Structure 1
Amino acid sequence: MFKRPRTDFWQVGIVPVPIEDIDAGRLSAARERITWLPDAGRWRYLADPFGLVRGDALHVFVEAFDYRVKRATIERHEFGLPDLAWRRHSTVLDRPFHLSYPQVFEHDGETWMVPESYQAGEIALYRACDSSLDHWERECALLSGLPGADASVIEHEGRWWMFYTLVGPGARDQRELHIAHAPALVGPWVPLPANPVRVNREGARPAGRPFIGRDGVLTLPVQDCSTGYGGATRLLRFPRLTPGQVEIEAGPERLTGDLVSDSHQAGLHTLTGCGGYTLIDVKRIDRSRGKQWLDLKRRFTRIGRLLDR
């Protein structure tokens, strides 16, 4: 008897609360006012939301994963302001390797993206080619030769800081936090000698762009994987962060999917601010047999292509 497969499906939502004010109580209170992105379709999901506000529009960039090919592209979904009416979507970045976690931000008059591309063996910086935000080109590698995941960058007190994890055996990416710093966005980036600065499945893998809290302290959303990948998020505070010293305070509160959804209660693994909004994703787990047949079909297709060569 085959064991029933476990298939994760994520859903992205826009919470009308600034990330500086987010806690379990406010997240739950905003439940009925969350705007959810459209359903991605069969065997697909949207996750890892990041956003930009431009004029009368909120642009939400997401990982668009397809189980039929087992990789993701980056999509942009446009919402009108202030009503958050969905307008359109487009695929803005597609590579022969998996892409996710499309952190977008503005700096020096340009719009930038640092998507996860660990399968390419680098953490790379992309630049928007025009104001449409639909066309991007690779600018440079920030860190190369390592399987970096969920890199999250911020300029703070005269330096650039990058928080990331490394993909490796034993679910290394779910329990290690690494930090690098640079004098400028394009580098040179230098990992801290003390890496990993935190080893803890209850809060290490980055889960959104760092931000400055109401108290002026640098704060990083991280995943709490103590109950499984992406089970919840919590906040890490950095009262002191220099190339030679890192102080970390872990917030006690876990933010979970059941706070905002009846259908997607199995996880919440992104928490990122965008103006007066907080973007989240929540997870449901499917245990139907359909995924097994999908995997078999993909394998037979791959074998067929090899035989045709």
Structure 2
Amino acid sequence: MYKGVDTQVWSINVFHSNEAIFKSLLGTRLEKPSLQASDVTDVPAEFVADPFIIQHGSEFFLFFEILNKASGQGEIGVASSSDGVTWKYGQVVLREKFHLSYPQVFIHNNKFYMLPETAESDRVILYKAKNFPNEWEVACELMEGQYLDPSLVHIHDKWWMFAGTETDSFHIFSSDQLEGPWLEHPQSPIISGNDKISRPGGRLIVSEGHVYRYTQADYPHYGDSVRVFKVNTLTEEAYEEEEVSLILSGSKKENDWRKDGMHHIDQLQLKDNRWLVAVDGHTFKNVNYVLWKLDRMKSKLFSRVQ
């Protein structure tokens, strides 16, 4: 009897915008991916997802998760572009013995840092560039715990970290220094047991003194959609927010790369006050289980030979 397995095939799209994304993009035409698994040349990629953008000189760099079929784990890759439209894949730049994803990259004190999700290690680990963009090393461990998609923002001379958990809770931490010590907010967890609005879905954006947080909905399935919330109060004692909009969701169009859902957005403000925006999306693919297992075995054998 035919036995199938449902897999999610994630891809990435990058586009220019005249403003930061605080309203719905549900009607926006995002016809084809800017980057997909077939663009990855150094490892057998199942998919690419969780894009983060940074600029260095006249070049744009896109960091993202690659699910390596050989290892079965997420690794961090990089692509580059001179115009933000055409992207050239580079290589895997960070791999560990545990799963990596959600590589938020940023500059602090003229140094490049990356905060990926490292929940499988039971730690939140900060990395810094040894040789940007291809070589990274551990800077320090920020805290212990299995926190999903930790997202940093620096505002009012204080660092804030928003993070999710496997129990669908939303936590907030703060620190006077990037390296810590980090203290949990007295109201944290802000949200508990809600798989629609608890898990971060992209970089925190600051606009007109307000922080905007993006959340991924994991219901009715993982990676369904993205919402944005406006943070009205963010102090060491209090936190208040309000939902602004559902901004990203699956197109429901057959054969579309983002037919079944979207779960991430990143935004880089450019010098001309325009924005470069990166999103991801997926489609479900049902494949024969035996062929699926054989493909992974083949990928592992090929990886060992190399």
Q: Secondary structure in 2 aligned to 1:14? A: strand
Q: How far apart are residue 294 of structure 1 and its match?
A: 3.4
Letter of the 1:294 partner, please give it.
W
Alignment partner, residue 6 of structure 1: 6
Deviations 1:39-61 (A, max 9, x none): 43666110000010122211000
Where do 1:1-309 residues align within 5 Å? 4-17=4-17, 20-25=20-25, 28-31=27-30, 36-40=34-38, 44-81=46-83, 84-130=85-131, 132-144=132-144, 146-167=145-166, 172=167, 175-199=168-192, 200-213=194-207, 215-258=208-251, 262-275=256-269, 276-289=275-288, 291-295=289-293
Q: Secondary structure in 2 aligned to 1:203? A: coil
Bigger Cα displacement from structure 2, 268-277 vs 101-110: 268-277
CA distance in 1, matches of 2:79, 2:189: 35
Q: How far apart are residue 2 of structure 1 and its match?
A: 6.5
Deviations 1:88-136 (A, max 9, x none): 4111101111111000001111010001111111011100012x31101
| Inter-CA distance 292–197: structure 2 relative to 1 (3 Å threshold) | farther
Q: How far apart are residue 149 of structure 1 and its match?
A: 1.2
Q: How far apart are residue 66 of structure 1 and its match?
A: 2.1
Q: How far apart are residue 19 of structure 1 and its match?
A: 6.2
| Inter-CA distance 301–252: structure 2 relative to 1 (3 Å threshold) | closer
Q: How far apart are residue 296 of structure 1 and its match?
A: 6.8
Q: Percent identity?
A: 26
CA distance in 1, matches of 2:195, 2:134: 36
Q: How far apart are residue 29 of structure 1 and its match?
A: 3.5
Q: How far apart are residue 78 of structure 1 and its match?
A: 0.7
| Inter-CA distance 258–245: structure 2 relative to 1 (3 Å threshold) | same
Structure 1 residues not aligned, in runs of 5+: 303-309
CA distance in 2, matches of 1:45, 1:182: 35
CA distance in 2, matches of 1:191, 1:152: 14
Letter of the 1:279 partner, please give it.
A
| Inter-CA distance 151–99: structure 2 relative to 1 (3 Å threshold) | same
Letter of the 2:257 partner, please give it.
S
Higher strand share: 2
Letter of the 1:100 partner, please give it.
S
Deviations 1:165-192 (A, max 9, x none): 123xxxx2xx311111000111110112
CA distance in 1, matches of 2:175, 2:139: 16
Displaced runs of 4 or more, over 4 A: 296-302
Q: How far apart are residue 212 of structure 1 and its match?
A: 1.2
CA distance in 2, matches of 1:280, 1:116: 17
Q: Secondary structure in 1 aligned to 2:248? A: coil
CA distance in 2, matches of 1:184, 1:129: 21
CA distance in 2, matches of 1:233, 1:191: 25
Letter of the 1:219 partner, please give it.
Y
Q: Secondary structure in 1 aligned to 2:5? A: coil
The TM-score normalised by the length of structure 2 is 0.86
Q: Is the 8 A contact 1:221 1:272 kept in 2?
A: no
Q: Is the 8 A contact 1:16 1:30 kept in 2?
A: no
Structure 2 residues not aligned, in runs of 5+: 270-274, 301-306
Q: How far apart are residue 202 of structure 1 and its match?
A: 2.0
Higher helix share: 1
